[in-house]
Chain A
């Protein structure tokens, strides 16, 4: 079975700081990888996803993530965060060909103006 680990439970940053949220998964086969964001009081929204091709994936709102197969990682990055990025971020994985998402526990990001 797959599992997803997000190592940081809560990250606090000042505006303009750089962000990197860790995500590691355990599964030996081909996977599809996702980052979802949940803003306060809102539903989950897709930030970006990786299916194949360039391992550096660019998403909405200036976010990007890099798939490193050898490390089973899919870390999320943003060079300069804004207060509006305050939210909870979830990494998720599916086996290739499946639509069943396995989620990490989420990382809460608080950006201080």
Chain B
């Protein structure tokens, strides 16, 4: 089956520091990865769409200079929260869309990572 991992699973940082979150597709290649943000008792909100080898496409209202996304390979995308502030505290979730037909991987389906809990003090 398709497995997506995220690292770290939780992180606490001081205000003003930067935090990098990794999203990996473990057993399939992902041409497209998505980054979501989820506030308590709220829905997942799409932040950006990341295609391997090209610049990410950000949703309206998401600051591209604050949330840096790099999709350097078909199995890894990173989200860096720069100069984090307490209002950036949230649950960040990535998903990956498979690029090929493999056992257990459907190309029109997003597979989600377990999420990263970010707390900014």
Contact = CB atoms under 8 A, between A and B. Distances in A.
A67 interface: no
Interface in B86-121: 93, 95, 97, 108-115
**Most chain B C-beta atoms within 10 Å of own C-beta, residue among A49, A99, A104:** A99
A32 B109 CA distance: 11
A103 to B, nearest CB: 4
A16 interface: no
A43 B43 contact: no
Given A90-B44, A106-B43, A101 B110 contact: yes
Contact of B114 (A4, A42, A90, A103): A42
A45 B112 contact: yes
B115 to A, nearest CB: 7
Interface residues of A, number: 20
B34 A46 contact: no
Interface string B34-61: 1010000111111001000000000000
B58 to A, nearest CB: 12
Interface of A: 4, 9, 32, 36, 42-46, 49, 51, 90, 99-106
24 contacts: A4-B43, A9-B41, A36-B112, A43-B112, A43-B113, A45-B112, A46-B110, A51-B108, A90-B44, A99-B97, A99-B110, A101-B34, A101-B44, A101-B46, A101-B95, A102-B46, A103-B36, A103-B43, A103-B44, A103-B45, A104-B43, A105-B41, A105-B43, A106-B43
